[in-house]
A and B are shown apart, each in its own frame.
Chain A
């Protein structure tokens, strides 16, 4: 069955460092991979989309990579700030446009 794993439930880093979150998947061929941010008590908010034929995407301090051979996406936040503390979810969508499948998320805590 399809499975998405996000590297760890929690990641603690110091302000100014780069946070790297991992999303691995099995038994799936996604055409698109999305990253969302979710704050406590709120719905997820879209951050970045990367397509299967793209290797890397950047937006301000965010960078996403997508390796379809390794079946893995890496999500980087450079120069992290306490305001980046949240849960980050990866989500996959196949070419047929069937439903987004979400991972469990990684909770990032950035300390000052």
Chain B
């Protein structure tokens, strides 16, 4: 079974530039998550999709971050414009469904450095 795929793996940009990350979840997984993990911290949920609908985006800085999951499969996360404090690893995860202690499967992450 193929895992969660993410690209790019690394990205370096200057502040005020824009950047986009892509995620392909495990086939058949209805729920997709984007997390931000700052160095030395645990992952923090940014947005959760159930199929192509948003379930939770309460911690997404909507003035600069946006995400979509077209056709309920792949997803993109965009930052525009980026700030220095956005430097982090952006993790995508998927699960068969949400809640009920469902196991989340994580991708390798995209490491973003904002200069």
Task: State yes or no: do A and B come from one complex.
Answer: yes
| CB of A47, distance to nearest CB on chain B (Å) | 10
* Partner-A contacts on B (CB < 8 A): 4, 33, 40-45, 48, 56, 91, 93, 98-101, 103-109
Q: How many residues of A contact B (CB 8 A)?
A: 25
Given A98-B56, A99-B48, A100-B104, A44–B43 Cβ distance below 8 Å? yes
| CB of A111, distance to nearest CB on chain B (Å) | 22
**Contact assessment for A49 and B108 in the assembled complex, using a CB-CB cutoff below 8 Å:** no
Q: Which of A70-112 contact B (CB under 8 A)?
A: 89, 91, 93, 96-100, 102-105
**Contact assessment for A103 and B101 in the assembled complex, using a CB-CB cutoff below 8 Å:** no
Task: Name the residue of chain A whose CB is nearest to the CB of B41.
Answer: A104
| CB of A30, distance to nearest CB on chain B (Å) | 10
**Contact assessment for A104 and B91 in the assembled complex, using a CB-CB cutoff below 8 Å:** no
When distances are taken between beta carbons in the complex, the residues of chain A under 8 Å from B98 are 97
**Contact assessment for A46 and B105 in the assembled complex, using a CB-CB cutoff below 8 Å:** yes
When distances are taken between beta carbons in the complex, the residues of chain B under 8 Å from A89 are 42-43
**Contact assessment for A105 and B42 in the assembled complex, using a CB-CB cutoff below 8 Å:** yes
| CB of A105, distance to nearest CB on chain B (Å) | 6
Task: Name the residue of chain B whose CB is nearest to the CB of A99.
Answer: B45
| CB of A84, distance to nearest CB on chain B (Å) | 19
**Contact assessment for B101 and A102 in the assembled complex, using a CB-CB cutoff below 8 Å:** no
**Contact assessment for B106 and A41 in the assembled complex, using a CB-CB cutoff below 8 Å:** no
**Contact assessment for B42 and A104 in the assembled complex, using a CB-CB cutoff below 8 Å:** yes
Q: Which of B42, B48, B107 contacts A102 (CB 8 A)?
A: B42
**Contact assessment for A97 and B107 in the assembled complex, using a CB-CB cutoff below 8 Å:** no
Q: Which of B101, B103, B108 contacts A42 (CB 8 A)?
A: B108
